[in-house]
Structure 1
Amino acid sequence: MIIGQPGSGKSWLARRMGEITHLPVVHIDAIHWAPGWVERPRAEKDRLCAGVHARPEWIFEGGHSSTWEARLDRADTVIWLDLPLGLRLRRVLWRSLSNWGRSRPELPPGCPERFNGEFVRYIWRTRRSQRSKLCWFYGQVPEDKDRHHLRSRREVADYLGGLSEAVASGNLGLPHR
Structure 2
Amino acid sequence: MQKILLIGSGGSGKSTLARELGARLGIDVHHLDALLWKPNWTPATRQEQIATQSALIERDSWIIDGNYGGTLDLRVDAADTIVFLDLPRTVCTYRVLKRMLKYRGKTRPDMGPGCEERFDPKFLKWVRSRSDQPFYNVYTNLNPKKTLFSCVHGPRSVVS
TM-score (norm 1): 0.80
Amino acid at match of 2:55: G
- Give the aligned partner of residue 165 of structure 1: none
Pairing 1:1-177 to 2, within 5 Å after superposition: 1-124=5-128, 126-130=129-133, 133-152=134-153, 155=157
Instruction: Identify the structure with the greater strand proportion.
Output: 2
SS of the residue aligned with 2:40?
coil
SS of the residue aligned with 1:6?
coil
Instruction: Kindly tell me the number of residue pairs found equivalent between the two proteins.
Output: 155
8 Å Cα contact 1:80/1:138 also seen in 2? no
Going from structure 1 to structure 2, the CA distance change for 1:21 and 1:155 (only over 3 Å counts) comes to: farther
Rounded to whole Å, the distance in 1 between the matches of 2:73 and 2:56 is: 13
Amino acid at match of 2:131: R
CA displacement, residues 92-124 of structure 1 (integer Å, 9 cap, x when unaligned): 001111112211111111111111122212322
Deviates more, 1:33-42 or 1:67-76: 67-76
Q: CA RMSD in A?
A: 1.8
Q: Structure 1 residue 17: deviation in Å?
A: 0.7
Identity %: 35
Q: Structure 1 residue 20: deviation in Å?
A: 0.9
Q: Which has the larger radius of gyration?
A: 1
Gaps of 5+ in 2: none
Gaps of 5+ in 1: 160-177
Amino acid at match of 1:39: P
Rounded to whole Å, the distance in 2 between the matches of 1:144 and 1:150 is: 19
Q: Structure 1 residue 39: deviation in Å?
A: 1.0
Deviates more, 1:63-72 or 1:6-15: 63-72
8 Å Cα contact 2:69/2:135 also seen in 1? no
Rounded to whole Å, the distance in 2 between the matches of 1:83 and 1:118 is: 19
Instruction: Identify the structure with the greater helix proportion.
Output: 1
Q: Structure 1 residue 146: deviation in Å?
A: 1.4
TM-score (norm 2): 0.88
